[in-house]
């Protein structure tokens, strides 16, 4: 660790070499395959979590009961370490490789990702639904809309930015797939591989985050989009503003 | 609950009380380290976030970049962020703390700005009319009124950090995470369960404690919900 500055230069050289190595781009352990795995795993777990969480959050928000429970579940959910969820899921559903390599199987990773994604989605969809102005809801009723129409044509469109923000928060959790380069890098003390894996995970997460931010903007009804003159910031990445309200 | 992975081993219960009583010192040390790592991260995070938040609140020019930068930090998954730092800061507390502080920034800065923005203009004008200088107005009007939102941010940052500290077990720190990691490596459930339960308990207690502090410090906000 003595030649720090020279070491850093050659370290980046090693990382670049790692990326240039054609062996790292082929087969099941190659970058393209693992990126695909990564996206597949994230997509599948977020979708599954959404199928479970959104109906709960939307129902609770629509009927206005059980809100305290929804908020508290999400608060505790924040506190449960993702690391522990993954390890517990691995305990329950079995390891694929030996524990020393830290190789988590696809099933435990999937279960852990779903479990971690549910709380923020429940809270955000709940808060989104509660944020809908009471007057707007009453106006909809007064116009003769039925309950179902109020839900689907008034409440859901207005709540959409929050719901999407919840999904964005969940989508950036990363284990497995490209994470294998990080875990193997740790295991083998191969720092260039570790660093390369971390760079790829970080870049992929940012790409997903920005694309979902675009989807969120598109899913916001035109009348609710922040105009250039209003000062209000959109809920960025998570329910932070709304969490401040909830807390 | 099939223990398929255990071959020819004695049944491994979820909790082995004898292990807990025999390793109380290790458990307490892990808990203390967990609290230390969390405290340092949140306090350093606050020390950085308050000036950043004030700048972002006052200056339109810097607000965008500040939010983008802290947002990017927040988006990078914890394992990747720690791994990005590892080659430079090694297996030291620096790697853990730089990462942990990074995660608190977005939460704290956002809540500071949201809290300050929520101060009504009339109140600020009244303060100015009463002859408050800018610094006095900030210290005695703006910040106290923004306090509930700021504390709410500190609560979220604290709870999030308590969860994230466990990940630093992989880089040789970890507090209670080291118990979880130990349980994983030895395929032994007790430390894993102890680490997780204590971690959640610590988070819940810190959250309640900070909520209590908020009530004590902002008596005027008690009767109505925080806007």
pLDDT band for position B7 (50/70/90)? very low
A5 versus B59: the higher-pLDDT residue is: B59
Cα dihedral A169, A175, A179, A184 sign: positive
CB contact under 8 A, A78 and B163: yes
Give residue A234's pLDDT. 40
**What's the pLDDT band for A49 if we cut at 50, 70, 90?**
confident
Q: What is the pLDDT of residues B149-169, one digit of tens each?
A: 899 889 889 988 998 898 888
Taking the CA atoms of A116, A120, A123 and A129 in sequence, report the sign of the dihedral they define. Answer: negative
Q: Which residues contact A142 (CB under 8 A, 6 or more apart)?
A: none
pLDDT reported for residue A8: 59
Residue A149 has a CB neighbour count (10 Å cut-off) of: 14
Question: What number does CATH give the domain B42-217?
Answer: 1.10.3720.10
High-pLDDT (> 90) share of chain B, %: 32
B227 vs B224: CA distance, rounded Å: 8
Tokens of B136: 């006095």
Average pLDDT over every residue of A28-46:
80
Q: Enumerate residues 6+ apart whose C-beta is below 8 A from A33.
A: A27
Kindly list the domain boundaries of chain B, sorted by start residue.
42-217
List chain A residues with CB under 8 Å of B4: 94
Torsion angle, alpha carbons of A212, A218, A223, A227, to 10: 60
Question: Which of B115, B192, B204 has its CB closest to that of A87?
Answer: B192
ipTM of the complex: 0.72
Any idea which residue has 């919840």 for tokens? A166
Interface test with B, best of A198, A199, A200, A228 (most B CBs within 10 A): A198
Q: Is the pLDDT of residue B225 over 80?
A: no
Mean of pLDDT values over A91-117? 62
Distance from CA of residue B47 to its chain's centroid? 13
pLDDT digits (tens, 9 = 90+) for A178-189: 777 877 777 777
Average model confidence (pLDDT) for chain B? 86
The CATH number for A29-222+235-246, chosen from 3.40.630.30, 3.40.50.720, 1.10.3470.10, 1.10.3720.10, is 1.10.3720.10
Taking only the tens place, the pLDDT of each residue in A140-179 is 888 888 878 888 777 777 777 777 766 655 555 445 577 7
The DSSP line for A56-115 is HHHHHHHHT-SHHHHHHHHHHHHHS-HHHHHHHHHHHH--SS-GGGT---HHHHHHHHHH
3-state helix, strand, coil in chain A (%, to 5): 75, 0, 25
Chain A closest-CA separation from residue B212 CA (Å)? 11
**Does the beta carbon of B172 lie under 8 angstroms from any beta carbon of chain A?**
no
Residues B118 and A107: their CA atoms lie apart, in Å, by 45
């Amino acid at each position: 660790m003595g030649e720090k500055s020279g070491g850093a230069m050659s370290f980046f050289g090693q990382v670049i070499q790692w990326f240039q190595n054609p062996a790292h781009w082929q087969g099941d352990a190659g970058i393209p395959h693992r990126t695909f795995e990564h996206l597949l795993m994230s997509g599948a777990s977020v979708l599954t979590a959404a199928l479970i969480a959104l109906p709960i959050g939307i129902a609770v928000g629509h009927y206005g009961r059980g809100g305290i429970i929804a908020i508290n579940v999400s608060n505790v959910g924040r506190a449960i370490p993702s690391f522990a969820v993954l390890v517990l899921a691995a305990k329950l559903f079995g390891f694929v490789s030996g524990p020393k390599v830290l190789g988590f199987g696809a099933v435990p990773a999937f279960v852990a990702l779903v479990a971690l994604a549910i709380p923020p989605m429940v809270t955000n969809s709940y808060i989104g639904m509660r944020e809908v102005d009471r007057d707007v809801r009453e106006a909809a009723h007064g116009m003769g809309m039925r309950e179902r129409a109020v839900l689907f044509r008034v409440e859901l469109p207005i709540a959409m930015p929050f719901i999407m923000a919840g999904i964005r928060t969940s989508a950036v959790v990363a284990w497995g797939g490209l994470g294998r380069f990080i875990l193997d890098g740790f295991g083998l003390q191969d720092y260039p591989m570790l660093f390369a894996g971390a760079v790829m995970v970080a870049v992929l997460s940012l790409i997903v985050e920005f694309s979902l931010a675009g989807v969120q903007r598109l899913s916001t009804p035109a009348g609710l989009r922040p105009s250039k003159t209003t000062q209000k910031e959109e809920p960025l990445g998570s329910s932070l503003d709304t969490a401040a309200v909830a807390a | 609950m099939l223990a398929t992975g255990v071959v020819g081993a004695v049944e491994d219960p979820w909790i082995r009380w004898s292990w807990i009583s025999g390793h109380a010192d290790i458990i307490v040390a892990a808990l203390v380290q967990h609290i230390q790592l969390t405290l340092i991260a949140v306090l350093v995070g606050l020390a950085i976030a308050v000036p950043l938040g004030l700048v972002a609140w006052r200056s339109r020019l810097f607000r965008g970049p500040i939010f983008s930068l802290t947002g990017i930090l927040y988006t990078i998954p914890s394992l990747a962020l720690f791994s990005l730092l590892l080659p430079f800061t090694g297996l030291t507390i620096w790697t853990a703390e730089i990462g942990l502080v990074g995660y608190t920034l977005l939460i704290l800065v956002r809540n500071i700005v949201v809290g300050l923005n929520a101060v009504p203009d009339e109140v600020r004008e009244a303060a100015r009319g009463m002859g408050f200088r800018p610094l006095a107005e900030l210290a005695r009007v703006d910040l106290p009124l923004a306090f509930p939102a700021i504390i709410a941010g500190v609560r979220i940052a604290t709870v999030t950090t308590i969860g994230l500290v466990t990940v630093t077990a992989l880089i040789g720190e970890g507090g209670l995470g080291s118990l979880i990691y130990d349980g994983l490596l030895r395929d032994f459930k007790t430390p894993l369960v102890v680490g997780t339960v204590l971690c959640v308990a610590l988070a819940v207690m810190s959250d309640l404690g900070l909520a209590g502090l908020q009530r004590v410090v902002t008596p005027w906000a008690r009767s109505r919900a925080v806007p």
